[in-house]
Amino acid sequence: MQLSNKLKINRMKRLIFLLITIMAFVLSYKSDAQTSTVKEELAKAQTLVQQGKTEEASKIYTSLMESHPDNREAVQGWIIANMKRTQGGEEEMIGQLDGLEKLYPKNTAILFFKAYVQGEYKHYDESLVTLEKLTTLQPDSALNWLLKGQILEEVNKYEQALNAYNKAISLDAANSDAWQNKAGLLAKTNKLDEAIDSYSRAIQLSPGVAVFIYNRGCAYCRKGDKANALADLKKAISMNPSFRESARKDEDFKSLWDDEDFKKLTL
């Protein structure tokens, strides 16, 4: 499971939690293996929503929440069916999830969405409380620990965030986004060699994600390794030309802004 193709990157640099759109995020992470009956019920409910029959759809989603408490798609569908999308959407959605949690306190999918939405709206302390419940009920989910690491990083609890990312990696060593987030945190705390190693692992796992390569180039540049910095930047630009402009404004490349090779590559 990976987040990389669905996340927006702050200054095209690294995975930043607050900019993830809830729809894209969840669609990247399908629930655990589903029976054909669950799939059929989800499809039926989705059709009812499209037909405007939200009450009938909600009954199906609620039934699935009861019978499959780890199924995120059932909770996602319920939210889509019931969200009014008003100006007070923030409080509305959190309130809805509070209500669902009271009905189904051990439903990990509800807790995941609640923690996610609380974090998106910068209710970080509340999000961490929800995540503590979530990781207690479902400690073997790499996604839960990745989310927890992102929230902890937002409140500058870097050591705890690093521990959470390491926990995610221990549960799913093939999760390139966990390696990327770990690398970004290491770079933020000036542990550049370790950051480069983690970026390299993320790139090895997801070689087609240009931002991983760009970010490693940033770390190389901060370290003073011009050759590798420009090599990564060149490759990232070949994959996504928008990095050309990003690099011209990125403080991580500031030491090369007046460098002729850098100018040729970015102008």
Give tens-digit pLDDT for 19-74. Answer: 334 444 444 454 445 677 888 999 999 999 999 999 999 999 999 988 888 888 88
What pLDDT is stored for residue 17 in this prediction? 36
Q: Residues of 92-130 as b/e, b for ≥16 C-beta within 10 angstroms? A: ebbebbeebbeebeebbbbbbbbbbbbbbbebbebbbeb
Where along the chain do its domains lie?
Answer: 4-194
Q: Is the pLDDT of residue 235 over 90?
A: yes
Helices 226-239, 210-223: crossing angle, 10 deg rounding? 160
Task: Kindly report, residue by residue over 203-215, the tens digit of the pLDDT.
Answer: 999 999 999 999 9
Task: Kindly report, residue by residue over 95-138, the tens digit of the pLDDT.
Answer: 888 988 998 888 998 999 899 889 988 999 999 999 999 999 99
According to CATH, what is the number of the domain 4-194?
A: 1.25.40.10
What pLDDT is stored for residue 86 in this prediction? 54
pTM for this model (two decimals) = 0.81
Indicate the average pLDDT of the chain: 86
